[in-house]
Amino acid sequence: MTTELLIEYCIYAAVIVIGIVILGAIHRKGRLPGHGELKNRILAWKVAADDFLKEEETAPSGNFAYYKRLSKLLYKLDKIMFVTSTLAEKERDMEIAQAANGLQAVGQALLPYKFGKREEDTLQKIRAAVAGVDGVLVLLDQVILRDSGYKAHRKQKG
């Protein structure tokens, strides 16, 4: 009787440990990035967009490959826009909200080229839209600078 009870308790303990591990993984996956990490994600997107534009200028790809790569860029931008707007809403920070609006403007400017007809000046229009990310990066630099000021003030006070 005691071995059966011991086996049951081991099974319950294993179920509890597995549940805790799953909850920890869900929590980690659902957490919002910090301001520096958000800036790094946006920089990575900008580098990918610049690489796309350089490759299209030097060796234009076919329509399918072009739209596939542009769709991937827009998908990544959508994810970044969602995270940025969620972060702005959670922190109630107007500068991050302005950054989210800037990213949405870039996304709206790029959207017509996802399924539209390819024209000669399309790459210049895409380059102009991607240049809007620079303003977002400036806003995030200000936020990071403000955060470091808060940390320095907190150290002096504490």
Q: Given this model, what pLDDT does residue 1 score? A: 67
CA distance 110 to 130: 8
Give residue-wise pLDDT tens across range 99-144.
999 999 999 888 887 776 677 777 888 888 888 898 899 989 888 8
Q: Given this model, what pLDDT does residue 15 score? A: 95
Residues 20, 64, single domain; the answer is no
Contact 95, 121 (CB under 8 A): no
Quick check: 16 pLDDT over 70? yes
78's CB contacts (< 8 A; 6+ apart) are 107
Q: Which residue range is the domain that position 39 belongs to?
A: 33-157
Residues 56, 115, single domain; the answer is yes
Q: What is the CATH number of the domain that holds 39?
A: 1.20.120
Rounded to 5 degrees, φ, ψ at 61 are -90, 175
Residue whose C-alpha is closest to residue 46's, from 80, 21, 13: 80
Residues 27, 39, single domain; the answer is no
Q: Please tell me the total count of domains within the chain.
A: 2
Give the type of residue at 90: K
Q: What is this structure's pTM? A: 0.78
Residues 86, 150, single domain; the answer is yes
What are the start-end ranges of the H helices in 31-132? 35-58, 63-91, 94-110, 112-115, 122-130
Residues 39, 23, single domain; the answer is no
Name the pLDDT band for 46 (thresholds 50, 70, 90): very high
Residues 47, 70, single domain; the answer is yes
Q: Which two tokens stand for residue 129?
A: 């839209």
Q: Given this model, what pLDDT does residue 64 score? A: 83
Residues 100, 46, single domain; the answer is yes
Contact 143, 96 (CB under 8 A): yes
